[in-house]
Amino acid sequence: MVSPRITSLPLLFLISATCFASMVQSTRTRTMNNTVSAIYVFGDSTVDPGNNNYIKALFKANWYPYGKDFINHTATGRFTNGKLTTDFIASYVGIKEIIPAYLDPKTSLEDMMSGVAFASAASGYDRVTAAMSNVIHVPKQLDYFKEMKAKLVKSIGKKRTQKHLRKAVFIISAGTNDFVLNYFNGPPLRRHSMSVSDYQNLVLDQAKSFYQGLWDEGARRIAVVGLPPMGCVPIVITIRSSKTIGCNEDYNAVAQAYNNKLQSALNTMQNKLARAGAKIVYIDLYNALYDIIRGYTKCGYDVADIGCCGTGAVESSFMCNRASPVCTNASKYVFFDSMHPSEKACHDLFKSFIP
């Protein structure tokens, strides 16, 4: 696999890891100090536990082989064979074993009190990205959060809700689809009207507006996940690699450039709002996932550049279907399908985020 360039880690990476660890204390600490009240999740398929099951979306994962290693081998809508990284975080904190989808009719008020996910697979910060697949764009996810907040206010009152949200952790993982599915490989609207740098700025402006919206609704602990090494994702390797098999350096460079802009924006927001109780951190997914891909054999994987489901190659979709051939042991693969990490990779990413 072609290795993407790795730059030295900025100080913000180290600060972010420490701050994020302080946000999500161990189960024992939470039991004693009630450090974290809930975890609320926004974004795309990397953190969607099944919201797309309840809308007329093109992309869903509520069939086998998705969920083949999940509780009761159930396909819940998670785009992997088991749990998501956010599920492992919730379990680590001691809130719950898995984070449910907000749109699931079985999600109760009690579930909402301890945390739910509003994320939607194939979504992004850019409204055009979500419109391509008829999914829930990130700003709309904020509307659902406001709806949930109103339910909490009705149940426990405004003051208790405000206190509850101040102690909650908000996790956002989005942006990859804006580039992989929209700008580079989607309709020509964006790439014909603006440069990559201009599009990065457009996505970042939408992202900052969303973070501000969360702040305005009472969020004080906000963790934002950066873009992964997009050029190392199997679907990109399949589409863009012509002569050699390996990571696409152009895509990786775009991800790194965007992440640098994102870090700067979050740092500015943190400094501006620190006195008001803000704890806004950047989570370095790029280097965390690349380290797994680069040292996959040392991490216990057999394959790093294709998915367990099928071959990782692109035919009509990057997803698994009911007839897809599936490897015997998904934990031997970094990716489960041609875009999404396996449960083991999700757990390894979780471990890298939580020292």
Contact assessment for residue 279 and residue 23, using Cβ atoms and an 8 Å cutoff: yes
Match 């999404």 to its residue by tokens: 340
Contact assessment for residue 98 and residue 90, using Cβ atoms and an 8 Å cutoff: yes
Long-range contacts of 293-298 (CB under 8 A, 24+ apart): 293/1, 293/229, 293/232, 293/247, 293/334, 294/1, 294/3, 296/334
Cα angle value 106/112/117 (rounded, 5°): 85
Contact assessment for residue 203 and residue 130, using Cβ atoms and an 8 Å cutoff: no
Q: Which residues, 6+ apart, have CB-to-CB distance to 55 below 8 Å?
A: 103, 120, 134, 135, 136
CA-CA distances (angstroms) from residue 101 to 42, 48, 115, 300? 10, 7, 9, 31
Residue 65 preceded by cis peptide, ω within 30: yes
Distance CA 94, CA 333 (A): 28
Contact assessment for residue 283 and residue 174, using Cβ atoms and an 8 Å cutoff: no
Distance CA 151, CA 129 (A): 29
Per DSSP bridges, beta strands 169-173 and 221-225 are: parallel
Question: Could you give phi then psi for residue 305, rounded to 5 degrees?
Answer: -120, 5
Which residues are identified as catalytic?
A: 45, 337, 340
